[in-house]
Amino acid sequence: MITLNKAVSVRASIPGTFVTIFGYTSPSSRVELSSPKAFAVTYSDQSGYFLFDQVLLPKNPQELCLLSFDDANRSNNPVCFPEPPNNSKTDIGPILLSPTISLDLQNNFASGQSIPNSRIKIFFHQQTNHKISLIKTAHARSLPILEIDTDSKGNYSINLAENSQSAYRLFSTATFLENDSPKSNTLFYGQIHFQWFWLVLFLAFLIGFLIIFIRRHHSRHRHFLPAVIYNKDIAIYV
């Protein structure tokens, strides 16, 4: 009798969600892709180009966000977008990440990094509200936009007005491939007018705190055990 052994092979494929994301930021930047359920890291090349190639995402990864850090460890404004369809392969890009921006310690100039040889627009808004109120409303007057170009390494900088008597908000955007990036982080500089109202409010809070502390301190002493008076070798309680 001849017995035949039949080999049985079982193949199964697990559906997954793959996403490829590419775009531009400052050169040699760390770019992070994150969501509540996923995290990946890549680095941009000397042209600022970055790529997340076929990243496997878990089921329902939720909103995805991109955040980059330039070589001075300055972060940009994150860019977020909805989760891709489940069990699919999705290409997203090109995405232009916002420039980074920072002020020097003396507030004499602002600098940052973005895509090399791109157009940078600096937006200024002068603060005009100095009224005292419990709920402060923000009023700002837009000033002319300043335009400069990044160098071959993505650097840019501008000089700021010295001894400014006003407070300003400023941020930047980059223009590349005839498209504008999102805005950078917003910075504040200039003369910040101090409001006496907030000093009075702080002092009132501090005085109230001290009064409560002193009252609690005295109440603790009232519940202490009777003092002990030592007279030579005899302890007498009074």
Burial 77-108 (b: 16+ CB within 10 A, else e): bebeeebbeeeeeeeeeebbbbbbbebeeebe
- Which range of 150-154, 190-194, 233-237 scores highest in mean pLDDT? It is 150-154
Strands 49-57 and 17-24: antiparallel
Q: For residue range 161-211, what is the model confidence (pLDDT) as tens digits? A: 665 566 788 899 999 989 999 999 999 877 554 455 556 667 777 887 787
CA 106 to chain CA mean position, Å? 22
Task: Name the fold adopted by 17-96.
Answer: Immunoglobulin-like (2.60.40)
> Class for domain 102-190, per CATH?
mainly beta
CA 120 to chain CA mean position, Å? 20
Mean pLDDT, rounded, of the chain: 79
Strand partners, 179: 176
Percent of the chain whose predicted confidence (pLDDT) is above 70: 70
Domain coordinates in residue numbering, the chain: 17-96, 102-190, 196-237
24 vs 84, more confident: 24
Q: For residue range 98-143, what is the model confidence (pLDDT) as tens digits? A: 999 999 887 788 999 999 999 999 998 876 554 444 444 444 456 7
Residues 35/67, Cβ–Cβ less than 8 Å:
no
Using CB atoms within 10 Å of the CB of residue 1, give its burial: 0 to 12 exposed, 13 to 18 middle, 19+ buried: exposed
* Same fold: 17-96 with 102-190: yes
